[in-house]
Structure 1
């Protein structure tokens, strides 16, 4: 079951956070059915590729993947605009539960897939999923959290600079946790604090200091959660031989 779940969750993560443009997100918010159809086609194609085989269970699972994803995404469009972060978290939680339920209903799908003999594949899919959730999805979550404080944001620097910094710091944290060196994250916090000090200390701008602190802690917290969730998933899969031993 866990291999099937990993394959399906990787397809979901790629469809939602790697292959979905801002224009598609906006179109789904307007309940534009052609946009929904395009998004679902990408998801189903990725799910089919991950579990490629010819069986009735395979077709049934793909139908459930598409149907559940569509219903959850449609439900999200009715969420209040001022509850965007809660809608995002609830939406992704519902997708996670639906994916787990489908994997539980068809636990042997990956074992019968064309790629079943590749023992390294589930672990690789878990790494890909964890990296995207930590780095890419984390950016959306932190952005939604900080949207209410936009008027207190620090002065603009490089275009998209803050977004890129957040992605890089979450990527570094993800790698440090997987490498068994979480203690080094403290040095990352110290370095960012020093580099940000001048930007947030001018003119006694305390609200801007708080803005940076909240954003940084949220970003670091998301990255730690994503990294340790990835490690937890990988403990149930065949080892890749590239991560330090849990012992």
Structure 2
């Protein structure tokens, strides 16, 4: 079952956070946009599991139905988390319903593949998915910042910093070096201190965003370790206790 779960999770993260285009997101209220995303979902499910099981079609249909409903509600953190929660619940349900989906598929003989898929899914969730979640969280706060504070930032710099810090935290957790996260927090605090020390609103904005970003990466990192612990060892990471 863990092998199937890793494959389905990897397929989901690829479909939603790597291969889903902006056009698909904008046009999900229309059948063309929704169908295009559904085709990507089905393709990634087939590719990751190496299977043509009918259950994958049902999984795709449920994914499309969830996205169609989400497209009709106001975008925000709650909608994003609810949408992803339903998708992840569907992934877990299918893995429980058909635990041998991966072992009966084309990639059954590749014992290291599920672990690599788990790593890939975790990295995407920590970085790309985390970027969307933190962006939705911070949007209401960003709207209250003075225009001067917004203008001083390099275009896209905050997004890149977030991706890098979550990626580093994810790597530190998987490498068994959680103490490095504290050093990362200290380094970021020192670098940011001069820019925000005299601006309370901006300093609070930075603190909220940093803590949320770190918490997301830590959660995904430890969840990935838990899944890896149930899979055949890759031999490239420290043994989990």
Q: Give the TM-score, by structure 2 length.
A: 0.94
Please say which of residues 69-78 and 228-237 is displaced more in the overlay: 69-78
Among 106, 122, 126, the residue aligned to 2:118: 126
Contact 1:177–1:227 (CA under 8 A) maintained in structure 2: yes
SS at match of 1:102: helix
**Which residue is 1:15 aligned to?**
15
Q: Distance in 2 between matches of 1:22 and 1:198?
A: 36
Listed as ranges, the matches of 1:58-207 within 5 Å are 58=53, 60-81=54-75, 84-150=76-142, 151-152=144-145, 154-155=149-150, 156-201=152-197, 204-207=198-201
SS at match of 2:27: helix
Any idea what the Cα deviations from partners look like across 1:183-231, whole Å, max 9, x if unmatched? 1111100110111112212xx3101100000000000000000100100
Q: Distance in 2 between matches of 1:52 and 1:80?
A: 36
Structure with the higher fraction of residues in helix conformation: 1
Q: Give the TM-score, by structure 1 length.
A: 0.92
Q: Distance in 2 between matches of 1:87 and 1:232?
A: 27
Please say which of residues 18-27 and 132-141 is displaced more in the overlay: 18-27
- The CA RMSD over aligned residues, in Å, is 1.3
CA drift of 1:163 comes to 0.3
**Which residue is 2:24 aligned to?**
24
Among 188, 207, 211, the residue aligned to 1:213: 207
Q: Distance in 2 between matches of 1:246 and 1:7?
A: 21
CA drift of 1:174 comes to 0.4
Contact 1:73–1:91 (CA under 8 A) maintained in structure 2: yes
Contact 1:135–1:170 (CA under 8 A) maintained in structure 2: yes
**Which residue is 2:6 aligned to?**
6
SS at match of 2:8: helix
Runs ≥4 residues deviating over 3 A? 153-156
Among 231, 236, 240, the residue aligned to 1:242: 236
| Unaligned ranges ≥5, structure 1 | none
SS at match of 2:103: helix
Any idea what the Cα deviations from partners look like across 1:77-134, whole Å, max 9, x if unmatched? 23234xx101100110100111111122211111111110111000000000000000
Contact 2:169–2:217 (CA under 8 A) maintained in structure 1: yes
CA drift of 1:24 comes to 1.9
Query: How many matched pairs?
Result: 237
Q: Distance in 1 between matches of 2:215 and 2:26?
A: 28
Please say which of residues 60-69 and 116-125 is displaced more in the overlay: 60-69
Q: Distance in 1 between matches of 2:40 and 2:5?
A: 18
